[in-house]
Amino acid sequence: MTKTYVEAEHDKKQTNIEEILKQAEELKEIFSTRADAIDAEGTFPYENFADLKKMNFLSLTIPKEYGGKGLNLLEYLQVQEIIAQGDAPTALSLGWHLGVMLETAENWHWQGSAFEKVSSLIVQEKLLFNLAQTERATGSPSRGGTPGTTAIKEENGWRLNGNKAFTSMAEALDYSIITADLNHTGKKGFILVDHKREGVSVKETWDSISMKGTKSDDLVLEDVLVDEEDLLFVEDSRSATARGWYLQVPAVYIGIAAAAKDYAIKFASEYSPSTLPGPIKDVPEVRRKIGKIELELFNARQVLYAVARKWVEQPEQRTNMASELAAVKHIATNSANKVVDLAMRIVGARSLSASNPLQRHFRDVRAGLHNPPTDDAIVYTLADAALSQEEHI
């Protein structure tokens, strides 16, 4: 029977994502061979990003009409989980870049032709972008607050001054999108900054024991002059809505947990102490722990991908999904931490060896608890949502 145009397009889309996921699996295997060195040396994974650029992964979430692959949230998260199994800092860093572009593709809220320009830079020149919002004085932007970074209007553009903390990939970025207080009005502007501009520098501050390879140093802006059109948008009620792409955070930590599970199962299948007739996988307590790992991963994935599917299939609901997105982050990151802990209990003292990948997974997965929004903020968000519903009954 001849397929309709819609069916043919659906099949084409499926083939597209299947090929991309296959490429992600290939990259995962390559990245896993470099992960220990990246962690031990605390260096940015330039080699991994060279591979990502070669495979055109920087343009995955850019719309097809602008030369990208046009991945939606659900597809993007699948890629993130796979890449994270190879090297978590690489995945988290890539996710910030892809997520910014996905949000813009969904909302089309940038002014003028800025999105087309940025998309072209990524597709054609394979340039790297990130959103720089966090400041040491104000903390995470998820808790509100006006940026300390200022943008003062001048005849030739905007003059920027300020410091951004925890700027992932700072030394490797070509551009940042920074948040700034516009003319001391309290209005938050999102401004595109070319790192080649005079006054842009990076201050090395990243000394974390987790996610070392993200190189989340400080971005320093000293009297940086940008063009008037580099003001992409001013945050308002429309642009300040829930951000589905932040689900890349739980996706990455689920990936770490999956890598820890794979290592623990391989170890349990091969390790046969002289006191046992076979490998420890046959020991009931080990089997129980493996079963608990499977339950945690199953629950985390079901929650993550169900909410992501709702985001894709019911766009009219997005403005009401803030509490659901927050709940996913809480559930998935806490489950990921439990999985890594169980994996280490299966492997035992060997998991604490500096040469064992589980100790790296343990340190990396802890970072998920501190990525915004934090657990306490999430719980209050859920409480507020529940109480608000009660008031309207």
User: By the 8 A CB rule, do 68 and 59 touch?
Assistant: yes
Q: Which pLDDT does position 390 carry in this prediction?
A: 65
Helix (H, G, I), strand (E, B) or coil at 188: strand
User: By the 8 A CB rule, do 286 and 280 touch?
Assistant: yes
Residue 211, both tokens: 């996610």
- CA separation for the pair 67, 59 (Å, rounded): 8
Mean pLDDT, 10 residues at a time, the chain of 393 residues: 53 78 98 98 98 98 97 98 98 98 96 97 98 87 81 97 98 98 97 98 98 98 98 81 93 98 98 96 98 98 98 96 96 98 98 97 97 92 85 63
Look up residue 113 and give its amino acid: S
- CA separation for the pair 320, 223 (Å, rounded): 39
User: By the 8 A CB rule, do 255 and 83 touch?
Assistant: yes
Instruction: Give the residue among 298, 299, 318, 316 at the shortest CA–CA distance from 308.
Output: 318
Helix (H, G, I), strand (E, B) or coil at 192: strand
Q: What predicted TM-score, i.e. pTM, was given to this entire model?
A: 0.93
* 385 membership: H or E segment, kind and range: helix 375-391
Q: Which pLDDT does position 143 carry in this prediction?
A: 59
Quick one: residue 77, left, alpha or beta (phi over 0 = left, psi -120 to 50 = alpha)?
Answer: alpha
- CA separation for the pair 363, 35 (Å, rounded): 13
Q: Which pLDDT does position 164 carry in this prediction?
A: 98
Q: Which pLDDT does position 3 carry in this prediction?
A: 55
